[in-house]
Amino acid sequence: MAASPTTKVVADGKVVAIHYTLTDDKGEVLDSSNGRDPLEYLHGAGNIVPGLEEKLSGRAAGERLKVSVEPEMGYGKHDPRGVQRVPRSEFPSDVQIEAGMQFSAENDQGEVAVVWIVGVEAEHVVIDMNHPLAGKTLHFDVTISGIREATREEAQHGHPHGPHGHHH
Ligand code: ZN
């Protein structure tokens, strides 16, 4: 009896390994797994952007696909309200603040969010609470290098644990 085809294609509950190169509209490489191990993610768990996850569904190991993901299905639109000027004194005084740095900050509701430094002025720091890839159309060149069943622990945690055991 042949194995069910569902064991061989990308579907919810599978740990999928992908090699990928992500470029922007100008073809500039933003991120790539080149020279690294493939990225493992748990399909259906929101580990990767929804637009890419959707396009990988039903694909088989070894398949290569090129996917363009609009911001709405990627890291979201860029919200101008997320760009704010904050007094320098709100940041640790012993840290050299530079554009491109990342901090975690607590908002008025007590939620912790990541903010990116986009500018430094004399008395203020300009922060952006949007993801750095917000507002960008993402162009992925993806090769599926492996598909396996998630372990029970991985399924419970909502992410893969990789070949070296548990690391968060
Ligand atoms: Zn875990």
> What's the CA-to-centroid distance between 46 and ligand 1, angstroms?
14
pLDDT (average), residues 75-96: 93
Q: What is the CATH number of the domain that holds 116?
A: 2.40.10.330
> What's the CA-to-centroid distance between 24 and ligand 1, angstroms?
31
Same-domain pairing of 115 and 94: yes
Domain count, the chain: 2
> What's the CA-to-centroid distance between 47 and ligand 1, angstroms?
12
Same-domain pairing of 71 and 90: no
The C-alpha angle with vertex 77 and arms to 71 and 82, in degrees rounded to 5, equals 150
Same-domain pairing of 61 and 100: no
Residue 85 is predicted with a pLDDT of: 95
Per-residue model confidence as pLDDT tens digits over 101-114: 999 888 778 888 88
Per-residue model confidence as pLDDT tens digits over 5-20: 555 899 999 999 999 9
In this predicted structure, the answer to whether residue 132 has a pLDDT above a threshold of 80 is yes
Contact 124, 88 (CB under 8 A): yes
pTM of the predicted model as reported, rounded to 2 decimal places: 0.79
Same-domain pairing of 70 and 138: yes
**Domain that residue 87 falls in:** 80-128
- 112-120 and 102-106: which strand pairing? antiparallel
| pLDDT band with cut points at 50, 70 and 90 for residue 164 | low
User: What is the 3 state secondary structure string of the chain?
Assistant: CCCCHHHCECCCCEEEEEEEEEECCCCCEEEECCCCCCEEEECCCCCCCHHHHHHHCCCECCCEEEEEECHHHCCCCCCHHHEEEEEHHHCCCCCCCCCCCEEEEECCCCCEEEEEEEEECCCEEEEECCCCCCCCCEEEEEEEEEEEECCHHHHHHCCCCCCCCCCC
Same-domain pairing of 67 and 25: yes
> What's the CA-to-centroid distance between 48 and ligand 1, angstroms?
16
